[in-house]
Amino acid sequence: MTDRRIIILTMALLVSWRAVVRAEPRIVMPDNPAGKDARDAAAAFFAKIAQGDARGAKEQFAGEADQLELVNAYVDWVSSYETLAKQVKDRFGETDPRKGVPPIGPLMQSYAERQLEKFMVLNGDRASIAADDKLFDEGMELRQINGVWKVTHLNCDHRSKGLEKVLQAYAAAARSVSQDLQAKRFSSIEEAMSALSTQSKKAEEMMRKRGFDAPRELPATPAVKWAAPDSEVLAKYWGKTLFSPEFKKLVSTMPGMPHLFILPESLRLTAEDAGITLVFDSNGGLKLILLYGEGIEGFRQYPGALPKGLAFGETRKNVEAALGRPNESSSGRYGYSATYPQLGFAFDYAKESPRDPENSVAEVRLLPPRKDLNAAKVKRPVFPRLAFRLVVTDPAIAADEMADPIGDKTMRVSREVLLDETSIAKVQATYPTPGSNDFAVAIEFSDQGAQKMKEISKANVNHRLAIILDGEVLMAPNIQSEIGKNIQITMAKDAKNTEASTLAGRMHAAVFTLQEGAAKK
């Protein structure tokens, strides 16, 4: 009898051990039967939303109160549009569907069907179905309760209030037009739809500003310990794909519930509890790794070692003391961003203070190293790094012979610096506008710099002005009239976006270089 009890206990422990081993995150393809029950539950839930069936949707829901309010907002959005569509049909008869009320119910039904075709992450009794770029399809989470899969979150990143307000604004617009229809204030379907468009402006403005992208709050539970790989180990993942054994192993060790976001040209695997996001191209190849400091966008701090022994919260002056000045910089996701492409990483700082030496590291981006760049530090650049100097012909004027960007000739450039980087307020790459295929770099002067440029250009019409970056003449246009607060460097006709971004990054780094011993903010 004793032996039998031991055998039963051993089997029970083995089953328990297997359950624990299986409860690890893994990416599941659409055709994998392991995710079928969770997908079916997600599809059935969206089908209830599409029917405006609040009761049926709530029966398949087991989330927190804030997510339940989001469910109600979805149902109200669908119901209000379906009611308006029926009123329009009754008032104006059969109409061209392209002129009528947007078919929200069928849209949500298509969402239900699409849940069966998505990637998902399965982690024991929890599942996360990927978000994509479709309107309001923010992904969803499910949990298996007493053997039945139920929806717990209608957006993967758990930020519900902003999305709820957008849906409520659309529903309010539909109800307002419904009331006007009942009062017979419209003489045609065109008038009714014009009113709906006008009433929906508030919701559309919220969408443009991505109002539901408010920062995600940190979970109340303490951080889970994770033996995260160091950044040097992560750098060995370049060239690997999402479904390679290396990434499967990495994902399986991550704490919490990783999420997938599928975009037109990329796929993102985000793990908030692990402090990491992996970005893949459309073919599944790794192209970017994001490591977060504590609380940044609701992420826990990435616990692995960062590049060159640096740490989150490190000041910019300490980073540059260790690595030298960055080759490129920009106005980043949170504030100032410095890129070391030759080393394969970038630092996003916490504040929009591009000349603040105490600005602290909030996020680290790991990039595929560029083999064409010299890995040496940029230690002591010659100042000014960005200079505006006149092209001269008078031999009496002290000048330097420099390569003319137009043709293979040289030109004499006055040694007098009329303006330098301290007169610049902003530098950024610009994208082609309608009717133009040209990439460019836009420069905005400070108020004082703009006044100086106005005076310089007014006094030197029909003279060439050389714009010089780290000793290289970028361009030397002829001054045709008075120049204002903004100028633009247009790239060559065959230039690519990356070339404009690189030049803008180099110029930005020059403009916002920390001076030796500077404490200027």
**Read out DSSP for 234-274?**
HGGGTT-BTTSHHHHHHHHH--S--EEEEETTEEEEEEGGG
Q: What is the pLDDT of residue 207?
A: 74
Q: Considering the chain, what is the average pLDDT of its residues?
A: 84
Q: Percent of the chain at pLDDT above 90?
A: 49
Place of tokens 């995600």: 216
Q: Residue 15 — very low, low, confident or very high, per pLDDT cuts 50/70/90?
A: very low
**pLDDT value for 7:** 39
**For 402-446, what is each residue's pLDDT tens digit?**
999 888 899 999 999 999 999 999 998 887 665 566 778 889 999
Q: CB-based contacts of 28: which residues, under 8 Å, 6+ apart?
A: 34, 35, 119, 120, 121, 122
pLDDT-derived band at 495, boundaries 50, 70, 90: low
Share above pLDDT 70 across residues of the chain, in percent, rounded to a whole number:
85
Q: Give the model confidence (pLDDT) of 150-186 as tens digits.
A: 999 887 665 667 788 889 999 999 999 999 999 989 9
In CATH, the architecture of 386-511 is 2-Layer Sandwich (3.30)
State the average pLDDT over residues 330-337.
83
The pLDDT value recorded for residue 156 is: 67
> Environment class of residue 252 by beta-carbon count within 10 Å: exposed (0-12), middle (13-18) or buried (19+)?
middle
pLDDT of residue 97: 59
Is the model's pLDDT at 455 over the cut of 50? yes
Every domain of the chain and the residues it spans = 23-208, 231-366, 386-511
User: What is the mean pLDDT of the segment spanning 463-490?
Assistant: 90
Structure tokens at 349: 């700082």
User: Given a cut of 90, is residue 348 above it in pLDDT?
Assistant: yes
- pLDDT attached to residue 516: 57
Residue 251 and residue 28 in contact, taking contact as beta carbons nearer than 8 Å: no
Length of the chain: 521
Cα–Cα distance measured from residue 129 to residue 446, given in angstroms and rounded to the nearest whole number = 48
End-to-end CA distance of the chain: 79
Q: Is the pLDDT assigned to residue 520 strictly greater than 60?
A: no
Asked if 78 and 50 touch (Cβ cutoff 8 Å), the reply is: yes
Instruction: Please determine, for residue 25, whether its predicted confidence score (pLDDT) is greater than 80.
Output: yes
For 24-28, 134-138, 269-273, 369-373, which range has the lowest pLDDT when averaged over its residues? 369-373
- Which structure tokens are listed for 223? 């951080």
Beta pairing, strands 410-414 & 399-403: antiparallel
pLDDT at res. 4: 47
- Write the DSSP symbol of residue 171: H
| H/E element, 521 | none
What's the pLDDT band for 325 if we cut at 50, 70, 90?
confident
Which pLDDT band, with edges at 50, 70 and 90, does 292 fall under?
Answer: very high
Residue 91 has pLDDT above 90, yes or no: no
Beta bridge partners of 268: 261, 279
Q: Is the per-residue pLDDT at 11 higher than 70?
A: no
pLDDT of residue 418: 95
